[in-house]
Amino acid sequence: MKTSEIRQRWLDYFGERGHTVVPSASLVSEDPTVMFTIAGMVPFIPYLTGLIPAPYPRATSVQKCIRTNDIEEVGKTPRHGTFFQMTGNFSFGDYFKKGAIEYAWDLLTTSESDGGYGFSEKDLWVTVYKDDDEAIALWKSIAGLPDERIQRLDKDTNYWSTGHPGPAGPSSEIFFDRGPAYGPDGGPATDDDRYVEIWNLVFMQYEIENVRSKTEFDIVRELPSKNIDTGMGLERVAFLKQGVENMYEIDQVRPVLDRASELSGRRYGADHDDDVRMRVVADHVRSSLMLMSDGVMPSNEGRGYILRRLLRRSVRAMRLLGVEGPTFPELFSASRDAMSPAYPEVARDYDRISQAAYGEEDTFLRTLASGTTILDLAVDSSKKTGSSVLAGDTAFLLHDTYGFPIDLTLEIADEAGLTVDRDAFDSLMSQQKQRAKADAKNKKSQVADLSVYSAFRALGETQFLGYTEMTADSRVLGIIVDGESVTSAAAGQTAEVILSETALYAESGGQDADKGTIVGDGFELEVLDVQRPVKGLISHTVTVTRGVVSVDAAATTVVDAEYRRGARQAHSGTHVIHAALRQILGPNAHQSGSYNKAGYLRLDFSWNQALSRETLTEIEEISNNAIRDNLDVVTREMPLDEAKSLGAMALFGEKYGDVVRVVDIGGPWSRELCAGTHVSTSSEIGMINLVNESSVGSTNRRVESLVGLEAFDDLAAERAIVRELTASLKTPREQLPGRITDLVASLKQAEKKIKEYEQQAQAQRVPELLGTVETVGATRVVAQSLGSMGSADDVRTLVTTVRERLGSEPAVVALAANVKDRPVIIIATNEAARSAGIRAGQLVRTAAGVLGGGGGGKDDMAQGGGQDPAAIPAALTSVVDAVTS
């Protein structure tokens, strides 16, 4: 049974039984405390917790998920994968335990010919929370399971909560027994790979408080409306139904594994380590493909960093399989073909996805090349000192700074006959993780506690009237201070105010929140921020500047008209620049992020190379021509499918409802889904002035622009500079570039002549220095102070020249100088001196110790320094003494 068929059977089964079929949400989580959608129930959490009234009594979905907390286990077990699909059925106050158990058992054990999955009842086990006698009784009566195949487990495995006060409840899990060939008897309680969990049923029936840990909390009451949340692992059922050993061998994943095998020439199944690497490649390539299809791009932070890590682990695994060249064109196309039947957008957006993936692979292969060079030098240095161990801090530097995997460091060191100081490396890695944990200490890893908003959201959605109104009369529904709901807030306090209506725009879609005030009888509030903490609710963060604001008070929101005008100009300007970019660069230049505020905008877009000055000028010209042409800006609301059929572009990672707002500028020239505020005609934007273009990752670029009056002010400032230059240089404006070029050329020529004079002056010092030679034993020594010098390079040049002039007899040259108020000493030895055991590095460390600093280098030349120029004579004396000894 193909994975796509298992998926469709699930949706058909529950759809036919009154469940609303809900499309998968994006892998990019709406929850600001969680980067990715990590479970099938995540999109339904607001309904399950009562934060938002459920729009349907029962629902079903097949949800795309990403989890990376067990990334090191990928490939080693049959069930760990970063990308997976979780099927789920949900009840919001409708059916409860009996219905959930009946549905699960029926679908699993009904024959394939009758639309079920056809599992044999004798192979199925269940676990329940140890005190849930009701669930045990239901399993016996519905499924006829004997006592020995129902195992009672504790809260750590069979109890669900958000980790915060609120809904919670016991769970029951269904396991498939793979048979004695896969492990000992004993059931799921053995926690053995023989028993594979395929379905988890959560019975959300209690309210908990005083949450102290995952297993320590107080149950205070039963919920008046009980919910069901279940999830079945699609990949786990697929590998069981397809008769393969693990999830990496199912039809949606195996093609990538096979391609990795072909490219490497290694047979899958022949070697355990190679098998793990192929499974890592198969999992990570698929996960990366799906992340990028939802708009995530490689970067050095957040979601982009996780994606980059997956891509680089794939490259590393192929490298360890013996493939050093690019492989993504082969691997990603195999994954595309396997996944597109279930997710057509993967094929539709493949040009954009592949461009990003190939660029990242190319960048990392260059990183590996440079890391290998550094590693080779470190290996060579270790060998020269007679050590058989590569320092742990070197391995950590390669890993942390260059992204060079420790596996490759171990491999290359082993080939050179060295081991790596793993204890030191692991210690440094541990310290780094502790720093990361400390940095994230205040960030919640579980579901955000938004319960304070639930009572307000239950009153309905906040109406946003700001598209057409700059003021709006409203009523105060709630006030929050320090996370707690209160009845009032007084002058000087900062609070969140929830209103029934507002004209103030909440930050979203890249547009900054409005500025403004909220006024009422006896109070005035300065608006600091406007956000949407939960879907449908707008919260205003305010400072009470006068009086006392209370719940139920009448209030009027007043938008700062000047700021709103600037924000509208910037947001419409973003659409115009995006259209101009696509007109010049083509459809692959797709917006990947933006930020707009009054007078300023930035636009991130998918592209893998810098834009030339000529291209930027062309983009700016097209944008300002669109402004000059006074194009109509039209906004319409329509069903999402209709908007897409009209060609409206959506921003990857943004969430859209069934009804969307479409913004047209010049008709189809710019047609995007957007909930922001906009101008009425393009001429209201005023002016676009592109001020910067930069990289935000190997496959993303960023353009920044000033808009409107700010754009004019910036150009006026440049005009003032030009006027000043024309006056100073007595040159007409149109001749300034040539005049400045001539001046720069003249300056370079003068600097060149000065350098030549300095070199001549130095050369004249060589005879003087040769006249100071003293013989120490069998070695000729020059040890002199040069006084003040411009740079250490000048000192090095003299040292090298003097050494060459001393001939082939043993010789040491030690010259010191005051360089920018710091003592510098450089020492050189010739071959005869080194043969006699005299090493420049050892001598310079001796001298640097006298100077109050440090130094080092090779046997033939070394450099040191310190803090005290007055100690230079003593340092030189110490060199002579060291040669004597």
| Residue 335 Cα distances to 74, 343, 346, 419, 595, angstroms | 17, 11, 9, 37, 33
Q: Where are the alpha helices (DSSP H) in 498-549?
A: none
What are the contacts of 465-470 at 24+ separation with CB within 8 A?
465/501, 465/502, 465/503, 466/502, 466/503, 466/504, 466/505, 466/514, 466/559, 466/564, 466/677, 467/635, 467/677, 469/503, 470/503, 470/558, 470/559, 470/561, 470/564
Measured between alpha carbons, how far is 78 from 808 in angstroms, rounded to an integer?
A: 69
8 Å CB contact between 53 and 91: no
Burial 473-494 (b: 16+ CB within 10 A, else e): ebebbbbbeeeebeebbeeebe
| Residue 746 Cα distances to 459, 724, 730, 739, 760, angstroms | 75, 21, 17, 11, 21
- Check whether 571 is labelled as a binding-site residue: yes
Q: Where are the alpha helices (DSSP H) in 417-462?
A: 422-439, 454-457
DSSP string for 803-836: HHHT-SS-EEEEEEEEETTEEEEEEEE-HHHHHT
Measured between alpha carbons, how far is 845 from 825 in angstroms, rounded to an integer?
A: 10
First to last CA, the chain: 84
Closest CA to 388 of 417, 364, 368: 417
**Rg of the chain, C-alpha, whole Å:** 35
Question: Rounded to the nearest 5°, which phi and psi values hold at 156?
Answer: -65, -25
E-state strands within 713-800: 774-776, 779-788
Measured between alpha carbons, how far is 110 from 15 in angstroms, rounded to an integer?
A: 17
Calculate the CA 299 to chain-centre distance: 6
For residue 20, the cross-strand partners are 59
- Check whether 678 is labelled as a binding-site residue: yes
Residues 6+ apart with CB under 8 A from 147: 140
Strands 389-390 and 419-420, bridge-based pairing? parallel
Burial degree of 126 (CB within 10 A; 0-12, 13-18, 19+)? buried
Closest CA to 792 of 844, 831, 859: 844
Calculate the CA 312 to chain-centre distance: 13
Residue 182 in 3-state DSSP?
A: helix
Strands 419-420 and 484-486, bridge-based pairing? unpaired
8 Å CB contact between 504 and 466: yes
Residue 106 in 3-state DSSP?
A: helix
Measured between alpha carbons, how far is 764 from 785 in angstroms, rounded to an integer?
A: 16
Tokens found for residue 507: 């930050």
Neighbour count for residue 643 (Cβ, 10 Å): 22
8 Å CB contact between 281 and 256: yes
- Check whether 540 is labelled as a binding-site residue: no
8 Å CB contact between 326 and 362: yes
Return binding residues for Zn(2+): 571, 575, 674, 678
The annotation places the binding site at: 571, 575, 674, 678
